[in-house]
Structure 1
Amino acid sequence: MAENYDDIDKKTPDTVDTDGHASDDKDNDDDYEKYCYLCRRPESVAGKLIHMPGDINICADCMQRSFDSFNNSGFGNMPGLGNMQFIDLTNMPFGNIDMSKFKAQNDVPKSQKVKKKAPKEKKQEEELTLKTIPAPHKIKAMLDEYVVGQEYAKKVISVAVYNHYKRVLTDTMDDIEIEKSNMLMVGPTGCGKTYIVKTIARLLKVPLAITDATTLTEAGYIGDDVESVLSKLLAAADNDVEKAERGIVFIDEIDKIAKKQNSNSRDVSGESVQQGLLKLLEGADVEVPVGSGSKNAMVPMTTINTRNILFICGGAFPDIEEIIKQRISRQASMGFKAELKDKYDDDPNLLRQVTTEDLREFGMIPEFLGRLPVLFTLDALDKDMYVSILKEPKNAILKQYKKLLALDEVDLRFDDSAYEAVAEEAIKRKTGARALRAIIEKFMLDIMYQIPRDDTIGRVTITGDYIKGKGSPIIELRGTPALEEASATQIDKQD
């Protein structure tokens, strides 16, 4: 009596290893992902696959498209198909396609298979409650560990976030209903707008969605609809609607959707987007596609209520200083004590005097500004702030490089002249704190390249002359008395 095919497969080795022993790849098929035969997407991307005869796997999207094409071609209306309980697709020809010739999953060579990813362990995070919400001074203290300067901005956002989550987590406010306080932050590029919001979300352990307003367009045009903002928030909350409804949405580059001036064409990415965002900022039930940024028939939809979602908008608003100066010096004056027109040209903190009137002149519609009641500004960075950014934050960029070289048992140090030289160069570039990394990456390139080649290097000291291109770093070899004395001192401190 013939053996089963399964038994033959188990006894037949697929490959032979270098030692001459038979090895069976099919025993390890569970370690590799299955994929859709038609679109070739793995199961982790396409979702759960449908197993067909002949060991063929097809995703739900391709199966739906196949059924749609059958119905459109009239194949689905053939008599007798409605009473068929099972169709053997293995031997059924579709046009010139013979299904029996399809390759099974196990016939694919091992070099073309995708290995399954190890499942990530989800950490159970404590839910935010009225007792666990940190007070505003504690929120600001936590921000101080990561964000240098911007004292006023940190105080405003700490109070606003604290009040918002008190409002969200309590349902017993009698007849008094507290409105939410969305925020609009104005500040020059590289001053820390996005970083502050990221730090707040990480400290409070709430889902955060960061999106760029430049990609948003009016519904029906190429680009992202305003609902895509909520799709990102839902994805950040692991598709948990209840968790997403308590999250934070940060819309960056909000100044890019200002109303176009003197434009005859339809403004689909400016004023129209502001009008589309009104219902989200106010609070409404919005249908959101799950797992996708666009709405179509193949994507499931869910409803999210935006009433308890905190919206924070941020933008640099370039050249708004000119609008502020025009408003301040609107009244003309003459005489010896008259104010000069260029009085505010060199004022680094002119942005602090911004008002909603200036933003309306810039191109923001009043309905949009009315839904962002908390307006505050961030200061431009000066030399002292640049030096503090290099030294003080927990994850300062210089601390990152020190840790990298410590893995090679090399001590990296910077003298005071180096800090000042980096700060002066950053001020010239006028790109904010982002300039610091570009400057440090440039002068650290040769050091990071050469140090792994020489095991005798024990310490590298960066000087201001090296950053300005006038000298070289101070290199001390291992075994020198000064270096050994410093190492002994560090060991004593640890003990």
Structure 2
Amino acid sequence: MSNLTPREIVSELDKFIIGQSDAKRMVAIAMRNRWRRQQLPPELRDEIAPKNIIMMGPTGVGKTEIARRLAKLAGCPFFKVEATKFTEVGYVGRDVESMVRDLMEIGINLVRKEEMEKVKVKAEKHAEDALLDILLPSSKPKQNGMGFFNSSEQQEQEVKPVADQSSTREKFRKMWREGKLDEREVEIQVTVQGGGVEIMSMPGMEDMGMQVNDMVSKMFPGKKKTRKVKTREAYEILIQQESDKLIDMDNVAELARERVEQGGILFLDEIDKIAGNQEGGGSANVSREGVQRDLLPVVEGCVVNTKYGMVKTDHILFISAGAFSYAKPSDLIPELQGRFPLRVELTSLDKDDFYRILTEPQNALTVQYKALLETENLSIDFSREALEEVAFNAQKFNEETENIGARRLYTIMEKILSDLSFEAPDRSGDSIIIDKEYVQEQLQDVTEDRDLSRYIL
């Protein structure tokens, strides 16, 4: 990601998201600015704040997807949270600092997965040896009751069995690698969290409950439990155990904290719902403003205490989004507005956009449905006219009912293909072309009855 120019970032986003070029350009610049900041001398680097973004646009036009794909492209810890989940300090509800703790957990999992990949080869080798020890316990010179090894004469008598054991072990190794031992059952010890204490948390105070549970679990050591499993499953468990031995979790926590602080992305959705507006009541506006004032220190830059240590939020990138149908960015408190200097408006989707969404992205709905039905050996394809009819109906239903953007395509495609999905096991080997007439036939009942379309689509 560090080598990608803004133009290349936009090009990568174009593979999955249709349109919204202004928003893509803005997030690409924000990510490139992170790289530019790292090239500066330390005394200037700390002075440059991230350029936080507000995305404005109706639901289903790609706001969340842009941020999620950007984070995946960059390999950054990414966490999405609805601003409406938060309540002002002193009331029952989520604390705004909890989103930083959640982001840190994601960072830990991300770095841990990368570290496990680095030690994968060594862990697999150790796991294979441990599995062979279970399948074929090794013969070693035994101690007598006094704690001394047996006499040299007795040990010499054991040399031959040990050599035979080594030969047998290599035979077992070969059989295992060829998959001949996959169905054999073995007994393996696994660690289960001890204590058996579960602290129930009050609604809205789940974070505190999780912290107490974590503290209690550390007080009680894990217990060993013997399980009887197939060798293939035992091998996976042993790989996990060996990887845990090879990974330094203190180093993982340090790397994750640095990555969260320097590259983390927090996506604040529905931020318009906590913006004050003239139509709302006075008490409601006061409550919304309280949440904004709690958010302000986190966005400006503060230190949040997590179970992995203190995390600074000074350089975390905040991307906020909202429809802003009843409120506008200027309804946010001035201090919070100032922390989101970049504003971009996403456009509503029309029929042509829907058609492109069905055909162009790498993970297009048509590609997904084709792959799903091919698992039943049923081949389907869509004519251009059929997809144009789907796009036309998506726009029509969005206009007549509620505009939910590209999400409308999911409900329409599911309605069109429901019969084929049900009959697929009985039509194995068939090849079907879905044309315009088939689409119209499947949507006939909901297009003719507007009340019905409100419930089904």
Q: Report the TM-score when normalising by structure 2.
A: 0.60
1:275–1:471 distance in 2 versus 1, CA, 3 Å: closer
Which residue is 1:285 aligned to? 303
Asked if residue 394 in structure 1 is aligned to residue 340 in structure 2, the reply is: no
1:359–1:451 distance in 2 versus 1, CA, 3 Å: same
2:351 and 2:284 map into 1 onto residues whose CA distance is 44
Aligned residues of 1:260 and 1:270 also touching (Cα < 8 A)? no
2:405 and 2:95 map into 1 onto residues whose CA distance is 31
2:23 and 2:45 map into 1 onto residues whose CA distance is 32
1:160 and 1:302 map into 2 onto residues whose CA distance is 27
Aligned residues of 1:168 and 1:308 also touching (Cα < 8 A)? no
Which residue is 1:464 aligned to? 436
Shift of 1:209: 0.8
1:236 and 1:268 map into 2 onto residues whose CA distance is 33
Which residue is 2:270 aligned to? 253
Asked if residue 382 in structure 1 is aligned to residue 350 in structure 2, the reply is: yes
Asked if residue 137 in structure 1 is aligned to residue 7 in structure 2, the reply is: yes
Asked if residue 418 in structure 1 is aligned to residue 386 in structure 2, the reply is: yes
Shift of 1:287: 2.6
| 1:220 pairs with one of 78, 90, 104 | 90
Q: Secondary structure at the match of 1:447?
A: helix
Shift of 1:302: 3.2
Q: Secondary structure at the match of 1:265?
A: helix
Q: Which amino acid aligns with 1:241?
A: R
Shift of 1:467: 1.9
Task: Output one character per residue of 1:77-123: Cα deviation in whole Å (capped at 9) or x when no partner.
Answer: xxxxxxxxxxxxxxxxxxxxxxxxxxxxxxxxxxxxxxxxxxxxxxx
1:169 and 1:284 map into 2 onto residues whose CA distance is 24
Q: Report the TM-score when normalising by structure 1.
A: 0.56
2:443 and 2:258 map into 1 onto residues whose CA distance is 59
Output aligned runs, 1:191-206, within 5 Å. Answer: 191-206=61-76
Which residue is 1:273 aligned to? 291
Task: Output one character per residue of 1:22-69: Cα deviation in whole Å (capped at 9) or x when no partner.
Answer: xxxxxxxxxxxxxxxxxxxxxxxxxxxxxxxxxxxxxxxxxxxxxxxx
Aligned residues of 2:107 and 2:260 also touching (Cα < 8 A)? yes
Q: CA RMSD in A?
A: 2.2
1:250 and 1:153 map into 2 onto residues whose CA distance is 14
1:406–1:455 distance in 2 versus 1, CA, 3 Å: closer
1:470 and 1:395 map into 2 onto residues whose CA distance is 24
Output aligned runs, 1:2-151, within 5 Å. Answer: 132-151=2-21
Which residue is 2:419 aligned to? 446
Task: Output one character per residue of 1:163-200: Cα deviation in whole Å (capped at 9) or x when no partner.
Answer: 02432564446599323211111111100000000000
Which residue is 2:47 aligned to? 177
1:169–1:206 distance in 2 versus 1, CA, 3 Å: farther
1:470 and 1:204 map into 2 onto residues whose CA distance is 42
Between stretches 159-168 and 194-203, larger displacement belongs to: 159-168
Q: Which amino acid aligns with 1:469?
A: E
Aligned residues of 1:221 and 1:268 also touching (Cα < 8 A)? no
1:266–1:148 distance in 2 versus 1, CA, 3 Å: closer
Task: Output one character per residue of 1:264-301: Cα deviation in whole Å (capped at 9) or x when no partner.
Answer: 4365651111111111111122234x3xxxxxxxxxx7
Q: Secondary structure at the match of 2:283?
A: coil
Q: Which amino acid aligns with 1:263?
A: G
Shift of 1:411: 2.2
Q: Which amino acid aligns with 2:421?
A: M
1:402–1:168 distance in 2 versus 1, CA, 3 Å: same
Which residue is 1:52 aligned to? none
Structure 2: gaps spanning 5 or more residues: 109-252, 445-457
Output aligned runs, 1:353-372, within 5 Å. Answer: 358-360=328-330, 363-372=331-340
Structure 1: gaps spanning 5 or more residues: 1-127, 291-300, 321-357, 473-495
1:435 and 1:231 map into 2 onto residues whose CA distance is 34
Which residue is 1:433 aligned to? 406
1:281–1:450 distance in 2 versus 1, CA, 3 Å: same
Q: Which amino acid aligns with 1:259?
A: G
Asked if residue 303 in structure 1 is aligned to residue 310 in structure 2, the reply is: yes
Aligned residues of 1:214 and 1:257 also touching (Cα < 8 A)? yes
1:146–1:269 distance in 2 versus 1, CA, 3 Å: farther
1:404–1:175 distance in 2 versus 1, CA, 3 Å: closer
1:284–1:448 distance in 2 versus 1, CA, 3 Å: same
Aligned residues of 2:37 and 2:45 also touching (Cα < 8 A)? no
Aligned residues of 2:379 and 2:429 also touching (Cα < 8 A)? no
Matched positions, count: 291
The structure in which a higher percent of residues are helix is 2
Q: Secondary structure at the match of 1:469?
A: helix
Task: Output one character per residue of 1:458-482: Cα deviation in whole Å (capped at 9) or x when no partner.
Answer: x11112222222799xxxxxxxxxx
1:393 and 1:165 map into 2 onto residues whose CA distance is 28
Taking every aligned residue pair, what percent have the same amino acid on both sides?
37
